[in-house]
Amino acid sequence: MDKTNWKLLELLEQNGRLTYAELGKLVHLTAPAVAERIRKLEESGVITGYSAQVNLEKVGIPITALVECQVYRTKEREFKTLIMSLGEVIECYNVTGPYAFVLKVGVKSMSKLDALLERLIDLSDTNTMMIMTTPVKRIMPLNIAQDS
Chain contacts with DNA (rule: CB under 7 A):
4, 19-22, 24, 28-33, 35-37, 40
Q: Which of residues 3-22 bind its own copies (CB under 8 A)?
A: 9, 12-17
Three-state DSSP state, 28: coil
User: CB of 67: closest distance to its own copies in angstroms?
Assistant: 11
Q: Which does 36 bind (CB under 5 to 8 A by kind): DNA, its own copies, none?
A: DNA
Per partner kind, with CB cut-offs from 5 to 8 A, the member of its own copies, DNA, none near residue 73 is none
From residue 29 to residue 58, the character string flagging contacts with its own copies as x (rule: CB under 8 A) and all else as - is: ---------------xxxxxxxxxxxxx-x
Among 31, 108, 113, 119, binds its own copies (CB under 8 A): 108
- Of 37 and 101, which CB lies nearer to DNA in the complex structure? 37
Q: CB-based burial of residue 74 (10 Å sphere; 0-12 exposed, 13-18 middle, 19+ buried)?
A: exposed
Q: What angle do CA 73, 114, 79 make, to 5 degrees?
A: 25
- Which long-range contacts (C-beta less than 8 Å, at least 24 apart) are formed by 43-49? 46/1, 46/9, 47/9, 47/12
**Contact criterion met (CB below 8 Å) for 19 and 32:** no
Cβ atoms of residues 116 and 86 within 8 Å: yes
Task: Give CA–CA dist 139/10, Å, rounded.
Answer: 10
Q: Which residues bind its own copies (CB under 8 A)?
A: 1, 9, 12-17, 44-56, 58-61, 65-66, 80, 83-84, 87-97, 99, 102-103, 105-108, 127, 129-144, 147
